[in-house]
Structure 1
Amino acid sequence: MVESFDVAIIGAGMAGASLAAECAPHARVLLVEAEDTPGYHTTGRSAAFWEETYGGPGVFPLTMASGRFLREGGYLSPRGALNIGQAKDRDKVEAFVETFSALGATLHLQGRAALLDRVPGLRDDWVVGAWEPECADIDVAGLHQHYLAAAKRTGTVLRVRARVDRIERDGIGWRIAWHGGEARCAMLANAAGAWADAVAVQAGAAPVGINPLRRTIVQLRTAPVPADDLPLTLGINEDFYFKPQGGRLWLSPHDEIPDVAGDAAPEELDVAIAIDRFEKVVDWKIAALERRWAGLRSFAPDRLPVYGFDAHMDGLFWFAGQGGFGIQTAPAAARLGAQLLLGLPRDDLTDGIDATVYAPDRFAE
């Protein structure tokens, strides 16, 4: 017997799980995941933080709308972020502060003394910065499990080890199939992350140009041991960031290397670049390189998320292209996605967010 659903969501990472949780109280939902466990790829490899400026002005409304939900749910731990630059970057740092302060973010311009107070051992040529006191670490696993549990509690059916190999029209709806199973659905939601364009093509739609970019992270043992209150420290030119984690340091070269959808792995060159950049920021000693990993961050051509029905394929809904900001925007994005998908009214979480800027039809020819 082939089960029937109102909505089938492909992908059970943060995007798919959160969308399922928001849709399930109003519809019968199927959540289909190719891997053995949800969140194996990008969601499970994130060094995520909630930062007001992350993702740029176009993402800012989603970030700010999500902040209250994350705080009240206990998913945020205070961290603070320090965007630092050299003398040549002063104008850039000042413009950064001005742009986001005008939007409503909390930022403070910092001089050399303030930077050194927050990041001991900072080398002499780092002289200007922007302090973001509201930045916080995100309990990614806790948030993902919250959404999976909420989805299950409201009736969502989860299928794992179910890589979709066939999508076809079935009357006015869809039939999807995977090894050992199939289902019918009225609407198909594409929350497949790095695989989003491939899923669209399977469904007979045109891709929108979502590209997976590899991001490398390494875990270092350093001397001194990073203090628990060390801020997330980022280069204003987006060429590194680091933060403490359990007495160790997590470091990234802030790389965006074009890759293919799959099980991303770090390259030795990217690891070496990360360490070289770090050594030019602080005078700390690296005692050991303990771990390294990589994840894929998937972006549409304009680097904004893609939320809404396909411009030409009835019943195909896009919920993808969330880059590295998908976790920090999950609460508002998922609520907005469910409202667009099911025709639900806006509420206090999404009121004021202009969904048209995220619509797939901006890429339609």
Structure 2
Amino acid sequence: MTQTASTDFLIIGGGIAGVSAAAELAPLGSTRLIEAEAHLAYHASGRSAALYEPFYGPPPMVTLSLASREGLDAAGVLSPRGVMLVVGHDDAGLLDEEAALMRMTEIDREAALAACPGLDPAKLARAALGGDAQDIDTDKLIQSYLRRAKAQGAQVELSAPATAITRRAGLWRVATPRGEFSAAVLVNAAGAWADPVAQMAGVAPKSIVPHRRSMARIAAPAGVDVSGWPMLLGARDSFYAKPDAGALIVSPGDAESTTPHDAWADDLVLAEGLARYEALMRYPVERMLANWAGLRSFAPDGAPVYGRDPDEPDFIWFAGQGGYGFQSSVAAARLIADLVAERPTDPELTRAIDPARFA
């Protein structure tokens, strides 16, 4: 097996976590990122709903998402979208609690129908509007991080799945079909594969479990411009819908635990979600253009797992983003770099996401 020169940092995983980490770690030392697939952002990062809604998620993600806003603005990847929670008559009592959690303001039905003319006035009971939701240009953001990383000398190896990980003479050594790569510090940004990567390295897993999220792209109603509609959220995550390049993306909001794999949508789950969406709309779903699924990975408490492993300090966890990876990426990657460089961090935040909480 071909062996390459060692680097300071070796990142496993080429999704939003791995690429953003590369951009922040490269100024600190030589950096290499290895990705199992032939393209970056192939799995969860390439199948994201791509929305910035900072109050959507567990408290540590809210903190990181709010702290990421300035950097996302600077990268030029945000554009106005808006988000609206909509409930039918059977679920009208659910709006208050859910709107409060996301810091949304209830609006009257006329305002809701004006914001989204596709809603059926006979079916809509109540609605609440969030003021800070933005679309994220995910490809542009990935490329921005990649350019920054490469400008600082970072190297990227594609089609390089880790097949074995050992630690010898103070270095992590990762075997791949493209050769062996070694580094002093190993960053586990492997998404749904984070626990298997840890186990391969002899590090205790953190019970990070992937959950499937299915998506359908449907045709917009004939003659209807949906581009200005806000993202729609159903009660209890029963569905969400979002304009996308002249069409609509609709998800049933599923979160079925599964194993790491190249995910695909479940036809029955999609049909149920589309029916819940259709139950509030004036237009029937006439045509599905495409469907897919991604894996959102969660630790048991829902918070991400970021930082040094308590037993192997040179093994860095950057996993368990739970679907909030893009909107929190700026602050999350900076936090990883701060932890690696042993710079000061917010103690309350770092305790909430510390891998040692599972020790």
Task: Measure, in 2, the Cα distance between the counterparts of 1:302 and 1:359.
Answer: 12
Give the RMSD, CA atoms, in angstroms: 1.7
Output the amino acid matched with 2:350: A
Task: Measure, in 1, the Cα distance between the counterparts of 2:100 and 2:270.
Answer: 33
Alpha-carbon offset, residue 345 of structure 1: 4.4
Deviates more, 1:207-216 or 1:56-65: 56-65
Deviates more, 1:352-361 or 1:311-320: 352-361
What is the DSSP-based 3-state SS (H/G/I as helix, E as strand, rest coil) of the residue aligned with 1:223? coil
What is the DSSP-based 3-state SS (H/G/I as helix, E as strand, rest coil) of the residue aligned with 1:254? coil
Task: Measure, in 2, the Cα distance between the counterparts of 1:63 and 1:92.
Answer: 25
Decide whether the 8 Å contact of 1:308 with 1:340 is kept in 2: yes
Output the amino acid matched with 2:146: L
Deviates more, 1:190-199 or 1:251-260: 251-260
Task: Measure, in 2, the Cα distance between the counterparts of 1:33 and 1:2.
Answer: 16
Decide whether the 8 Å contact of 2:226 with 2:247 is kept in 1: no
Of residues 25, 28, 39, the one that matches 2:30 is 28
Deviations 1:71-95 (A, max 9, x none): 2221001000001224564554323
Matched, 1:81 2:76: no
In structure 2, the partner of 1:160 is 158
In structure 2, the partner of 1:358 is 353
In structure 1, the partner of 2:245 is 246
Task: Measure, in 1, the Cα distance between the counterparts of 2:4 and 2:25.
Answer: 21
Matched, 1:120 2:122: no
Deviations 1:39-65 (A, max 9, x none): 111111112100122113332111101
Decide whether the 8 Å contact of 2:88 with 2:280 is kept in 1: no
Change in 2 beyond 3 A, CA 1:226/1:276: farther
Output the amino acid matched with 2:34: V
Output the amino acid matched with 1:78: P
Output the amino acid matched with 1:290: L
Of residues 179, 193, 207, the one that matches 1:195 is 193
Matched, 1:17 2:12: no
Change in 2 beyond 3 A, CA 1:305/1:7: same
Task: Measure, in 1, the Cα distance between the counterparts of 2:109 and 2:319.
Answer: 40
Deviates more, 1:69-78 or 1:86-95: 86-95
Change in 2 beyond 3 A, CA 1:165/1:318: same
Structure 2 length-normalised TM: 0.94
Task: Measure, in 1, the Cα distance between the counterparts of 2:98 and 2:271.
Answer: 29
Question: 5+ unaligned residues in a row in structure 1: which ranges?
Answer: 102-106
Alpha-carbon offset, residue 344 of structure 1: 3.2
Identity %, equivalent residues: 40
Task: Measure, in 2, the Cα distance between the counterparts of 1:260 and 1:290.
Answer: 27
Alpha-carbon offset, residue 342 of structure 1: 2.3
Task: Measure, in 2, the Cα distance between the counterparts of 1:70 and 1:320.
Answer: 20
In structure 2, the partner of 1:206 is 204
In structure 1, the partner of 2:168 is 170
In structure 2, the partner of 1:184 is 182
Alpha-carbon offset, residue 273 of structure 1: 1.3
Structure 1 length-normalised TM: 0.92
Of residues 42, 46, 49, the one that matches 1:47 is 49
In structure 1, the partner of 2:107 is 110
Output the amino acid matched with 1:278: Y
Change in 2 beyond 3 A, CA 1:244/1:16: same
Deviates more, 1:143-152 or 1:282-291: 282-291
Decide whether the 8 Å contact of 2:118 with 2:282 is kept in 1: yes
Change in 2 beyond 3 A, CA 1:294/1:141: same
Aligned residues: 355
1:210-249 correspondence runs (5 A): 210-224=208-222, 225-249=224-248
Deviations 1:146-173 (A, max 9, x none): 1111111101111111111111111223
Decide whether the 8 Å contact of 1:222 with 1:284 is kept in 2: no
In structure 1, the partner of 2:335 is 336
Matched, 1:275 2:274: yes
Alpha-carbon offset, residue 109 of structure 1: 1.5
Decide whether the 8 Å contact of 1:222 with 1:285 is kept in 2: no
Deviations 1:314-351 (A, max 9, x none): 311100000110111000100111111222345xxxx6
In structure 1, the partner of 2:313 is 314
Task: Measure, in 1, the Cα distance between the counterparts of 2:257 and 2:138.
Answer: 24
Matched, 1:255 2:250: no
Decide whether the 8 Å contact of 2:58 with 2:303 is kept in 1: no
Change in 2 beyond 3 A, CA 1:24/1:300: same
In structure 2, the partner of 1:56 is 58
Alpha-carbon offset, residue 285 of structure 1: 2.8
Decide whether the 8 Å contact of 1:265 with 1:293 is kept in 2: yes
In structure 1, the partner of 2:147 is 149
Alpha-carbon offset, residue 243 of structure 1: 1.0
Task: Measure, in 2, the Cα distance between the counterparts of 1:159 and 1:344.
Answer: 29
